[in-house]
Amino acid sequence: MRLLFHRPEAARPANPIKPGAFFVTAFIIVLAVPVSPANAENPQDFRYEAPIEGKFQPNLPAKVRLPASLIAGTSNALADLRVFDDNGSEVPYVLYGKDVPRRKKNRTDCAADGREREKDDLGNKEVSGIGNLTDATASSPQAYGHLILATTAVEVDSEGATLIDPGLVNLPLVSLTFGIKNLYYCRMVEVSDSDSPSDRRYRKVAEGRILNSPETASPETTIALPPRWSRYLHIRILNEDNPPLEIEKVDIAWVPQYLYFFPQEGRSYRCYCGSEYVRGPRYETGKIIPPECARRERFQELSVGPVRRNPDYRPGPTVSTKMRIEQGILIATVLVLICALGVWGFSLVRRLPVEPVESDGDCDRD
């Protein structure tokens, strides 16, 4: 008999890789993968800046109305808005939009027909109604911000529809009101938005009718919009076989946004925005100043100065470049783990005991 296979003890690995050591190594490799920061933490990370102006009493909450020019430079519905003081420290804040005031009924007496007469808390005249009245016309026009688009030229598409492109808006819109020279008209209007000026995949957000006829008490020229942020707005008036309307202007109404924070003595503050890579901050200011407090209390009011490009801005990688880098890091990490797993598996195979196989030297013959 002779041995067909035999592994000498000296050939076996003296220090095989232990399972515990392998998993510890793999865990360290995963932790070593750089993770992109969730928030930009320096003023240099933002494209635009604007000073917060006005005198304030320290340690008392302040209210700042954000202008449309500042909001237009933000990303992801104000997720990248930050406030820094003159020391470069990030300042917590909370944002609230000014809601449309609704009628608040104060029941007084009954009219002769038995219906309740109500007075609202906006100083309006008496109105009659049953149930909750939520007519938007009951609110003060000053509750909204307004952007006026003067239309000098009319563009018509292949189907004869009038196209109006206000361009970058990036605001929480409420309604569109058209200024029309024509005496009588009845047209359907489609309102869409998109994320970029070159993106033709429009999302229809609203449609409605503009109308003026001898039967209407006043022209119906307002299209209500659902509560949403629209970055680039596209308006289409369906003319069918009618000549295009003479549009003088478009009044774009939007919900004002207010910033609340606690200024400190001897500090000055600036707003920064314009970074696509940050998420919305999670400050405790919203718990200190809840929405009902912001609506009820009076705050010292400050204002935002001119918006300009940040001279210290350091542009980071684009979104596509950042995604490619992160994908490459992920692929490299997976490959390293696979190689480590292979080495570990090979070491286990080599540690398996090998039984010598015996064989007869001669074959059996008849």
Beta bridge partners of 242: none
**Angle, nearest 10°, between helix axes 319-351 and 19-32?**
170
Residue 304 one-letter amino acid: V
> What DSSP string runs through 267-309?
--EEEEE--TT-PPP--SHHHHS-HHHHHHS--EEEEE---EE
Residue 194 dihedral angles phi and psi, to the nearest 5°: -150, 170
> What DSSP character marks residue 184?
S
Collect all residues with Cβ–Cβ distance below 8 Å to 199 and sequence separation of at least 6. Answer: 232
> What DSSP character marks residue 320?
H
Its pTM surpasses 0.95: no
Domain residue extents for the chain: 2-35+319-359, 47-98+257-309, 102-138, 139-254
> What does the pLDDT profile of the chain (366 residues) look like in tens digits?
444 444 455 445 555 555 555 555 555 555 555 444 444 479 999 999 999 999 999 999 999 999 999 999 998 889 999 999 999 999 999 999 875 444 343 333 333 333 333 333 323 332 222 222 222 333 344 578 898 988 766 789 999 999 998 888 899 999 999 999 999 999 999 999 998 877 778 899 999 999 999 999 999 999 999 988 988 999 999 999 999 999 999 999 999 999 999 999 999 999 999 988 888 899 999 999 999 888 887 899 999 999 999 999 988 665 556 677 878 888 988 888 888 888 888 887 777 776 665 655 555 555
84/269 Cα distance (integer angstroms): 6
142: buried, middle or exposed (CB in 10 Å: 19+, 13-18, 0-12)?
exposed
Q: What is the model's pLDDT at position 126?
A: 29
**139-254 CATH fold:** Jelly Rolls (2.60.120)
